[in-house]
Amino acid sequence: MSRMILDQPLNTEQPQSLVDLKNQEKDLLYIDVRTPQEFESMHIANSRNMPLPDLPKYLDELRKLSREHSLVFVCRTQNRSQMACDYLGANGFTNCHTLEGGMNGWIALGKPVIKGQHRLSLEGQVRAIAGGMILIGVALGFTVHSGFFLLPAIVGAGLLHAGLTDSCLMGLLLSKLPMNRIGNSPSASGKKGDSV
């Protein structure tokens, strides 16, 4: 599996010509592994939404697509897309790449996106819940019983673990909630919204 700096693979030793890159771009298929709500709020034109927790359901479809296209997996920062590539690599896929820098990198370079209704990202939900639990634990620790200070300690340990392992149990659990699984947009086509 390789990482791609937007449209150009990192694993090439010699710089490709502009013609080669343009031809390669036609063969790229962007697979967005974020939640349907994140995808609805902003995505790359003509990308497909296949949320990371549901990826096993898409294996047959991805095998067919990988015969015609190089699959470029997209998420917000590149963490989930790397997990997707690792999973598919373990299942025999050899034509998968991650988008270097994820959507954040794509937007920073001024690449076009389709914008829809803004929704809180999965990472934003994790940070909001973790911050809320810490505040509640500290407040209850000072006002009710000192045992409540254990709550911020547990949340802090969970955040430390997530940072060190680059995986987040809370994020995986939140991705299974109905609000993060069912979107109002046509998640496979990405045609709703305004192009920016």
Catalytic residues: 75
82 CB-near residues (< 8 Å, 6+ apart): 3, 73, 98
CA dist 130 and 65 (Å) reads 38
CA triplet 48, 50, 55: central angle to 5 degrees? 145
Q: Are 38 and 104 in contact (CB under 8 A)?
A: no
CA dist 90 and 50 (Å) reads 18
Structure tokens belonging to residue 146: 């000192």
User: Position of tokens 């549901």?
Assistant: 54
CA dist 157 and 147 (Å) reads 16
